[in-house]
Structure formats: structure tokens, C-alpha cells
Amino acid sequence: MFNIRVYVSYKESVLDPQAEVIEKAMNRLNQGEISQVKIGKFFDFYVKAETKEEAIKAAKAISDQLLANVNMESYYVELLEDN
């Protein structure tokens, strides 16, 4: 079993009004200039596979089919260490 984390966020070309509102609020706090705020989500799950490569391949297939809208979002798959 491999512990997987998938990060999903909007592509650079997609307008994210929620991130814009948060960026403006952060700048109103006067803690320095904040820019390029991105909002995303992540999914943690276990994949039963023989190798790391198979686990990552399975996670990418799940991400393409379910976790991310690949027209608007990009994703990154990370293999986590079990503690």
C-alpha cells in the first residue's frame, strides 16, 4: 500500500475570484505585498500496488477521471511516507 496525496488547483489561465478576494484581504493587512495567491485542495488516499510507479500511475488515472476537471484544473501527485 502506498500513501498518495493529490494536489488540485486552477490552471494559470483560469480566473479564480476567490483567490483574488483573499489576495486583496491579505494586502489590506499591511504585512507586505502579497501576489499570485492560489487556492487548491488536496486528497489523501492509499493505493494498493506492487511498485511506486504503479501507485502513481493509478493515482494519476483517478485524478484525470474524478479528482480534477482537467479542462480547468491541474494536479500534482505526491507519494507520502508513512509515519
Q: pLDDT tens across 57-82, in order?
A: 999 999 999 999 999 999 999 999 86
What is 2-79's CATH number, 3.30.200.20, 3.40.50.1370, 3.30.1280.10, 3.30.70.2660? Answer: 3.30.1280.10
* pLDDT value at residue 30: 79
* pLDDT value at residue 80: 95
Number of H helices, E strands in the chain: 2, 3
Residue 54, helix vs strand vs coil: helix
Cα 48 from chain centroid (whole Å) = 21
Q: Could you state, in order of their start, the residue ranges of all structural domains in the chain? A: 2-79
The answer to whether residue 83 scores a pLDDT higher than 60 is no
